[in-house]
Amino acid sequence: MERRAIFSAKVGFLFLAPALAFVAVFLLYPFVRVFLLSFTNQTLLGTTAPNPEWVGFDNYRRLFDFDRWMRLGEFGSALKITTQFVIGSALIGQVGLGLLIAWAFYRKKGVLRETVYTLVIMAWIIPETVVAFTWVAFLDRDFGTLNALLDAVGLGQPDWLFKHPLESIILFNSWRGAAFSLLLFSSALETIPPSYIETAEVAGANAWQKFRDIFFPLLRGHILTDLILITLWTFNVFTPFLLTGGGPARRTELVSIYTYRTAFHGQHEFGKGGAIAVVMMLINFALALVYLSLIRRRRVHG
């Protein structure tokens, strides 16, 4: 059905103008600017601050210096850590947990559901500096709650943030962001007509068959949308810095933290930081296109 227009395109544009201005100045302009920046040797301080020089592909050559790029603290290592982090905490952790919880409480009401939902949302909305502190406490080797529990069942007291730092931030980020997927999936589940489920139940379908044959095909679009957003957000997330500072020995240095260290610490190398940003954005674009093509394919095949 065609929506009726209430007013003309000209008036509509006036309503949209402030938003367009923000998008142009704070999204489009930085996006273009960062490409130009990545070909210069701009820094924050020193002689190259006021008069940056054009250096061609130098910054990119330094990023892709394959003799050293997989060493800890280099670009290749940051990319590898980020990939593990995204697969572990976004795809398995957040999307998996969100789907699992939403499905477990589908068509259920009451105190169990309210309790779990409230706790998941708390983890999501409490300020990031605060949850970083509570997680440092939670994971502490000697006093932490996690090790107190593990010790009680005889599993020892591993030093999480020093011996297993990547696993720690993956667990942390799964905990932190599961709420978005949970809320998205639980409102998507509400759109499934109850008659579908009832028919399947009458036919004797078990839980797994219902999930595979009804939920999954109907929610595929929502799952893909959720996957795109969660993947991009996790790729860019900076919060683990507050937990580990990228350490120990740069073993949790995600690309976002690597960028921060390059552009906003030490030498403040904006040119090189710009080159990293360009590569990150290109990877993000590629990921978004892959997911979008999967969504399109579903439409083509009905």
Within 85-114, the residues that bind another protein by CB under 8 A are: 101, 104-105, 107-108, 112-113
Distance CA 237, CA 177 (A): 11
**Nearer CB in complex with another protein: 5/67:** 5
Output the CA–CA distances (angstroms, integers) from residue 121 to 125, 138, 182, 264, in the order listed: 6, 18, 9, 32
Phi, psi of 171, deg, nearest 5: -60, -45
Residue 78 binds another protein, judged by CB under 8 A = no
- Listing DSSP states for 90-121 in one string gives IIIIIIIHHHHHHHHTTT--SHHHHHHHHHHH
Nearest of 9, 115, 85 to residue 253 by alpha carbon: 85
Question: What are the CA-CA distances from residue 87 to residues 58, 220, 235 (Å)?
Answer: 31, 19, 10
- Per CB under 8 A, contacts with another protein among 235-274 are 236-239, 242, 256-257, 259-260, 263-264, 270, 273-274
Give me the count of residues in the chain. Answer: 302
Closest approach of another protein to the CB of residue 205, in Å = 11
Is 8 one of the binding residues for another protein (CB under 8 A)? yes
In the shown chain, the binding pattern of residues 33 to 72 toward another protein, with x for contact by CB under 8 A and - for none, equals: xx--x----x------------------------------
Residue 170 in the binding site for another protein (CB under 8 A): no
Q: Is 116 in the site for another protein (CB under 8 A)?
A: yes
Query: Closest separation between CB of residue 200 and another protein, Å?
Result: 11
Among 47, 134, 209, 267, binds another protein (CB under 8 A): 134
CB of 146 to another protein, least distance (A): 7
| C-beta atoms surrounding 25 within 10 Å | 10
Closest to another protein by CB, 28 vs 70, is 28
Q: Is residue 156 at the binding interface for another protein, with CB under 8 A as the rule?
A: no
Nearest-angstrom CA–CA distance, 5 and 182: 35
Segment near another protein (CB under 8 A); pick from 28-36, 55-63, 66-74, 150-158: 28-36
Please tell me whether residue 18 binds another protein under the rule CB under 8 A.
yes
Site string for another protein, 171-210 (x = CB under 8 A): ----x--x----xx-xxx---------x--x---------
Q: How far is the CB of 33 from another protein (least distance, A)?
A: 4
State in angstroms the smallest separation of the CB of 5 from another protein.
4
Distance CA(195)–CA(202), nearest Å, equals: 10
Share of the chain residues as helix, strand and coil, in percent rounded to the nearest 5: 70, 0, 30
Closest contact distance (angstroms) between CB of 70 and another protein is 21
| CB nearer another protein, residue 67 or residue 195 | 195
Locate 280 and state its tokens.
């990150």
Minimum distance of another protein from residue 220's CB (angstroms): 7
| Coil, strand or helix at 302 | coil
In the complex, minimum distance from the CB of residue 69 to another protein, in angstroms, rounded to a whole number: 18
Q: Does 215 bind another protein (CB under 8 A)?
A: no
123 binds another protein (CB under 8 A): yes
Instruction: Enter the tokens of residue 39.
Output: 């070909």
Give the CA distances from residue 130 to residues 88, 133, 137, 176, 245, in Å, rounded to whole numbers and listed in that order: 23, 5, 11, 12, 15
